[in-house]
Structure 1
Amino acid sequence: MSCSPASSGARPGGSSSSPTGARCSRGDSRGARGVRLRESWRNFKPEQVRDFLRAGHEGRDHPSRLKVIELLQGMTSVLDVGCGTGVMFELIRERRPDLDYLGVDVTAQFVAAARERFPADARRFREGSLYELEGVPGAFDAVLCRHILEHLPDYAPAVQRMYARARRKLIVVFYLPPRPLRLRRKRDERFERGFYTHTYDLGRFLDHLLNELTPPAAEVRVHPRQGTSDHRFRWGDRENIIYEINR
């Protein structure tokens, strides 16, 4: 599916952890004084960090990851926001060794694990927040965000910050795909106590991509049915979806 922003007509309509509800506040230059974040990955035990999303149903060969490799065709560099322990880097190094990669993650343990696993490429992993991407050095053809927006209070500030760092495209992967919600902008599924697991309204999200980014997107392509989550989880029947936002 491909959309062009000239006249959208759109109308408003990952985690496998056991979170404890850890929160932090980060400034938002778009007007939100405190962005309330929730995440528990920093409380993982070392063995959980080491194996997080590396093998099994949601590991490196997940269809959504392989589709990302396809969408990076023609790109020379990528910024992986929420890089975790380097699962995507391992796949990129194997399939696209020519691609200049930098991964950013707010969880220090994940960054440390990635550097330990790939010591020769330790410089490619950096601790930092997606709300502070302006401080990340370098320029990137593509920015990748996989299974992150579901865990935020709202997608709009994050999407704009990532889009601003992408010279050619932003790739967003959801494991909780946006759905028509009628009167609501988002719904917290409460799959994990004390942890955001948002489903966003499909119409509002697509309208935001088409009409509210700066500068306006040239094209938005939607790639549905990119594999499910582990069937043992309550959201396991939902299929990943990828939004490709081209500048």
Structure 2
Amino acid sequence: MNYLEHFGLRTTPFSLTPDTEFLFEDLEFLMTAKTVLAALEEGEGIIKVTGDIGTGKTLLGRYLLGILEKRYAVAYLLNPLLSVRDLNQVLAAEFGILAEPGMGFQVLLNRMLEKLMLMGSRGMKALILVDEAQSVPDSTLEALRLMTNLETEKEKVVQVVLLGQLELDERLEKPEVRALKQRIATSCHLRPMDIDRLRSYLRHRMQAVGCGERELFTPEAIEALFRGSRGSPRLVLLKIFP
């Protein structure tokens, strides 16, 4: 008998894959999401969310995608190592522009920009979610900034949310991306969990897979997990299932 059968769980509660089924909507997470959503509603061009490894940035991106995909044309970039050419090809595909055989880069870019402006004139905005933004090349960050220049008489057509590790703040101090930094009106930070949040987090994950109200983690186990993980949700899961 494995541990799932022993405890009557329908699946593992300890998968490292970001999964909205296990979304822990505590106050910290919801306040960050609310801040980002409010900034988008206000029409801000670029919004930044930072957090240490494993604090929930990717899960936040998927949460925002689920909320916004009916109101925005959303492109979610999971691969940060894109050249400017690659970026525009990916975005064109995400926004429904088909690259014809032999189509030049500039023609594709112009078609995409024309479509985005047409969408904007009809009240549909585009949102670009960028995961692992600390690894995006400088030239690609600058291309993203330039896309936020697209606007109708009333509002911006393209908005960008950067989700990155703490190194993103260091990157933004570079002269090459200073113009992008100046466009960021809203910055959020996902903090590691304290021990009370960790206790609630573990309870939430266990209940999500059928544990009910049983407390399977002793206070001593929770204390040990907190010390070993420094409050990082991903490190907590690694400590349970290394």
The alignment's TM-score, normalised by the length of structure 1, stands at 0.33
Greater relative CO (CA pairs within 8 A, separation 6+): 2
Between Structure 1 and Structure 2, which shows a larger proportion of strand residues? 1
Between Structure 1 and Structure 2, which shows a larger proportion of helix residues? 2
